[in-house]
């Protein structure tokens, strides 16, 4: 099946990135949001990112040409003609199921439905539609325009041609896909999430300060970001939702939210996106570590 029109659901951190790389690869993209202000914010980020790539000579087309392939909407009906739908709304099973169930009668029957979920079972989502064989997981990484990986997730119901189509689509975006199955956390989060949560527990136990733990992992292991910088970057709300899904699945302490993560989320400190998390980003160029 030829993919021309891509729908992206959600224009937050991930949705805006997925929309950007899809438009850069030549697809016509429509992004769905709940309110215009979220589209405005997401598209402003895309324009900034495209300008950076253009400055470095890393775009085959002018940023305006790519930008012209991106449209925003708050009406699901505008997605009717999509060939590929990629969902990147909040990490919540009920919200995602409701979204797929509402779109199912609107989007043309041959379309592929994909979720960018970090942890939720794709099988739990596909039962919200009448086309389980056309549903897959496509898990992108943050920041999408820079991170090469896409995990392509197969369920017991996924049709082989749908899976191969999605795999090829990831390649057309310039990404490197890996094949994985519908096991909670897939490959990366199965391994990454316990590490991030252990960093919080180490801090809670007085092993080191937030910047010392960050520097230790950056300089001692060559990681591009320390765990607290990465947690703030991913979003503490999203990480907290992920812990709930993963703990529910495995019932192992290593997937459970440490108390401090829960408290930061309850306080509304979601990390970079709200200006405060483990660090305070009042001056984005000089984040100040918290002391909790
Ligand atoms: N668009 C275009 N260019 C961008 C950009 C964007 N969105 N973000 C950064 N850049 C550019 C910067 O302008 C900079 O360019 P110059 O070298 O010309 O200055 C360059 O990229 C490098 O950026 P920085 O100097 O700001 O920082 P960096 O060297 O640390 O690289 C990074 C940034 C690639 C994000 C790197 O820090 C990194 O790889 N961090 C780890 C990210 C990671 O682990 N992601 C996975 C998260 S987990 C996940 O996604 C799954 C899940 O389900 C939760
Ligand atoms: P985010 O909070 O930055 O963005 C979510 C966006 O979805 C918001 O703009 C919100 O307004 C919008 N939204 C919520 N409900 C909606 C609805 N019913 N219709 C349309 N739009 C709606 O979150 P994010 O970090 O972009 O995460 C999105 C998804 O991607 C989650 O499932 C998350 O687990 C996954 N993910 C996140 C990361 C990460 O590093 N943050 C990485 C990979 C995957």
CATH code, 128? 3.40.50.720
Ligand nearest to the CA of 192: 1
Of 198, 209, 121, 195, which Cα lies nearest the Cα of 157? Answer: 121
Q: Which residues line ligand 2 (CB under 6 A)?
A: 9-15, 32-34, 38, 88-91, 95, 99, 116-118, 140-142, 234-235, 238, 273
Same-domain pairing of 141 and 66: yes
Q: Check if 92 has its Cβ closer than 6 Å to any atom of ligand 1.
A: no
Same-domain pairing of 12 and 157: yes
Ligand 1 atom with the smallest distance to the CA of 193 is 54
For 105-148, how does the pLDDT look when each residue is reduced to its tens digit (9 = 90+)?
999 999 999 999 999 999 999 999 999 999 999 999 999 999 99
Q: How confident is the model at residue 149 (pLDDT cuts 50, 70, 90)?
A: very high
Q: What is the mean pLDDT of residues 5-26?
A: 98
Domain boundary among 135, 160, 181: 181
Examine the pLDDT at 1 and tell me if it is beyond 90. Answer: no
- CATH number assigned to the domain comprising residue 253: 1.10.1040.10
Same-domain pairing of 281 and 217: yes
Q: Find the domain containing 167 and state its range.
A: 5-181
Domain boundary among 181, 198, 232: 181
Share of the chain above pLDDT 70, in %: 100
Measured CA to CA in angstroms, residue 269 lies from 28, 80, 175, 222 at distances of 35, 37, 32, 28
What 3-state class would DSSP assign to 180?
strand
Same-domain pairing of 128 and 205: no
Q: Check if 145 has its Cβ closer than 6 Å to any atom of ligand 1.
A: yes
- pLDDT value of residue 135: 97
CB count, 10 Å around CB of 148?
10
Known catalytic residue: 2? no
Mutation pick for ligand 2 pocket among 35, 39, 90 (CB with most ligand atoms within 8 Å): 90
Question: How confident is the prediction for the chain on average, in pLDDT?
Answer: 98
Q: What is the mean pLDDT of residues 21-46?
A: 98
Measured CA to CA in angstroms, residue 291 lies from 118, 199, 211 at distances of 29, 15, 10
Q: How many domains does the chain have?
A: 2
Same-domain pairing of 122 and 94: yes
Q: How confident is the model at residue 171 (pLDDT cuts 50, 70, 90)?
A: very high
Using CA atoms, how far apart are residues 36 and 132, in angstroms rounded to an integer? 31
Same-domain pairing of 139 and 36: yes
Shortest-distance Cα residue to atom 42 of ligand 1: 142
Examine the pLDDT at 265 and tell me if it is beyond 90. Answer: yes
What 3-state class would DSSP assign to 103?
helix
For 216-264, how does the pLDDT look when each residue is reduced to its tens digit (9 = 90+)?
999 999 999 999 999 999 999 999 999 999 999 999 999 999 999 999 9
Known catalytic residue: 109? no
Examine the pLDDT at 215 and tell me if it is beyond 90. Answer: yes
Same-domain pairing of 134 and 14: yes
Q: What is the mean pLDDT of residues 58-81?
A: 98
- pLDDT value of residue 289: 98
Q: How confident is the model at residue 53 (pLDDT cuts 50, 70, 90)?
A: very high
- Residue-by-residue DSSP string for 147-170: --EEEEEE-SS--HHHHHHHHHHH
Q: Check if 191 has its Cβ closer than 6 Å to any atom of ligand 1.
A: no
Same-domain pairing of 232 and 172: no
Same-domain pairing of 167 and 137: yes
Ligand nearest to the CA of 18: 2
Shortest-distance Cα residue to atom 4 of ligand 1: 49
Peptide bond into 107 cis (omega under 30): no
Using CA atoms, how far apart are residues 224 and 227, in angstroms rounded to an integer? 10
Ligand nearest to the CA of 115: 2
What separation in Å is there between the alpha carbon of 224 and the centre of ligand 1?
A: 8
- pLDDT value of residue 44: 98
pTM over 0.95? The answer is yes
- pLDDT value of residue 116: 98
Q: Check if 52 has its Cβ closer than 6 Å to any atom of ligand 1.
A: yes
Using CA atoms, how far apart are residues 9 and 89, in angstroms rounded to an integer? 6
Same-domain pairing of 40 and 154: yes
Domain boundary among 113, 147, 181: 181
Structure tokens at 134: 């056309």
Share of the chain above pLDDT 90, in %: 100
Known catalytic residue: 285? no
Phi, psi of 174 (to 5 degrees): 85, 15
What separation in Å is there between the alpha carbon of 143 and the centre of ligand 1?
A: 6
Same-domain pairing of 205 and 171: no
Same-domain pairing of 29 and 100: yes
CB count, 10 Å around CB of 289?
16
């Amino acid at each position: 099946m030829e993919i021309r029109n891509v729908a992206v659901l959600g224009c937050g951190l991930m949705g805006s990135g997925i929309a950007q790389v899809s438009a850069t690869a030549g697809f016509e993209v429509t992004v769905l949001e709940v309110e215009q202000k979220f589209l405005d914010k997401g598209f402003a980020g895309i324009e900034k990112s495209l300008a950076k790539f253009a400055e470095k000579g890393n775009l085959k087309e002018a940023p305006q040409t790519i930008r012209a392939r991106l449209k925003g909407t708050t009406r699901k009906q505008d997605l009717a003609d999509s060939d590929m739908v990629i969902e990147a709304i909040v990490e919540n099973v009920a919200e995602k199921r409701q979204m797929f169930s509402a779109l199912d009668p609107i989007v043309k029957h041959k379309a592929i439905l994909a979720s960018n979920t970090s942890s939720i079972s794709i099988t739990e989502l596909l039962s919200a539609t009448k086309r389980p064989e056309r549903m897959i997981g496509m898990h992108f990484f943050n920041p999408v325009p820079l991170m090469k990986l896409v995990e392509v997730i197969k369920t017991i119901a996924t049709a082989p041609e749908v899976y191969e189509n999605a795999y090829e689509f990831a390649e057309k975006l310039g990404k490197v896909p890996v094949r994985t199955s519908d096991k909670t956390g897939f490959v990366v989060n199965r391994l990454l999430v316990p590490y991030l949560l252990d960093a919080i527990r180490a801090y809670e136990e007085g092993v080191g300060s937030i910047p010392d733990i960050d520097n230790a992992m950056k300089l001692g292991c060559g990681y591009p970001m320390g765990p607290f910088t990465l947690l703030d970057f991913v979003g503490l709300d999203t990480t907290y939702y992920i812990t709930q899904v993963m703990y529910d699945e495995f019932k192992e302490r290593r997937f459970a939210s440490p108390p401090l993560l829960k408290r930061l989320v309850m306080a509304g400190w979601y990390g970079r996106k709200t200006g405060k998390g483990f660090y305070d980003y009042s001056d984005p160029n000089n984040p100040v570590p918290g002391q909790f």
